[in-house]
Chain A
Amino acid sequence: MTIWIAGAKKEYRPGATLKEVAETERVENPVYVTAVVNEDYIKFGDFASVALKEGDRIEFVYFMGGGGYGVHQ
């Protein structure tokens, strides 16, 4: 299936979970990442239970403070 991650088109197996996608996309320190799927906020604790669908738009939103809290691939 085709999904969109940060605006880029990606191919995943149908029903892939958000956890699989986060791993494949090498999201760093995902415990402190919020995913926005379409317009819903999904916390890391729920990544494994969210099965994605064709056309879903996924964003990984990182805490950004200052020069200390590095969280990105």
Chain B
Amino acid sequence: MAFTNEQLERYSRHILLKEVGVRGQKKLLGAKVLIIGAGGLGAPAAMYLAAAGVGTVGIADADDVDLSNLQRQVIHTVNDIGKPKVESARETMLAINPDITVRTYREFIYSDNIADILTDYDFVLDGTDNFPAKFLINDACVMAGKPFTHAGIIRFQGQLMTYVPGQGPCYRCVFRDPPPKDAVPTCRQAGVIGAMAGVIGCLQALEAVKYITGAGELLTGKLLMYDALRNAFHTVNIKQDKECAVCSDHPTITRLVDYDRPDCDLEL
């Protein structure tokens, strides 16, 4: 596959990088990345992956755009209020880069649809806000042998880790089980600073780009934590739990389960 002149111009700042170059850009154009959640994390990730020329980007979300989303979900605008988020996201991504294919899934992920959705993708981004979805994505990716990047954000803080099969711990190695539903306050109580979704969602996009191009080191075996109020990026080494219920040699979880979801299923 040869680049067109337009592609050479569009991707010139990537091609200049020795870690990307023509080879890496071709890999990006041939890659398929699935973003679960078109909210705060998914929005910047989707825009940067589209701009980067990731050839196929899938985006899954059942919600419609709401005014309260616009404080952080920068892929949507006031003109999109009431529209399905995946539609609004697709329009923005193609407006940035018509060179890519966007596949939309207007549904929430559950144990009965996630395996089918992710089967065709090379890398998965978890942009969901709730623990049942996060554990489901982890388990489905471990079972399917798919790499994915987890992220969470709250108030002025964020965290990020990347799972690559056989190369380090999964989300469950560290967090084990979802916190009980009753222990979780409502989704509107704690809040989050909008730009935190941007910072952490962009880091997820970078993990995808690094995975696809092979540039540098991924956050495998590492949990990155960012505290904006203290200006602190901090990385903790994490290892595979030999007793992990899903990724160890003797898993006790061998099929996907749906945990109870919070009543308010807000996107980040």
Does any Cβ of A come within 8 Å of B26's Cβ?
no
Tell me whether A70 and B237 are in contact (CB under 8 A): no
User: Which chain B residues in 122-143 approach chain A with CB under 8 Å?
Assistant: 128-131, 134
Segment with Cβ contacts to A, from B57-65, B185-193, B204-212, B245-253:
B185-193
Pick from B131, B152, B236: contact of A36, CB under 8 Å: B236
Q: Tell me if B234 counts as interface (CB < 8 A to partner A).
A: yes
For this complex, into which size category does the number of interface residues on chain B fall? 35 or more
Chain B residues within 8 Å of A2, by CB: none
Q: Is B23 an interface residue (CB 8 A)?
A: no
The reply to whether B223 and A64 contact each other, CB–CB distance below 8 Å, is no
Nearest CB of chain A from residue B90's CB, rounded to whole Å: 23
25 A–B contacts from the bound complex (CB under 8 Å): A6-B232, A6-B234, A7-B234, A32-B183, A34-B175, A39-B238, A41-B173, A61-B223, A61-B236, A62-B159, A63-B179, A64-B152, A64-B154, A65-B184, A66-B129, A66-B152, A66-B153, A67-B129, A67-B187, A67-B191, A68-B187, A68-B264, A69-B184, A70-B154, A70-B189
Q: B interface vs A, CB < 8 Å?
A: 39-40, 128-131, 134, 152-155, 157-159, 173-176, 179, 183-192, 223, 225, 232, 234, 236-239, 241, 262, 264, 266-268
7 shortest interchain CB distances as A-B pairs: A66-B129, A64-B152, A70-B190, A68-B187, A66-B268, A59-B236, A67-B192
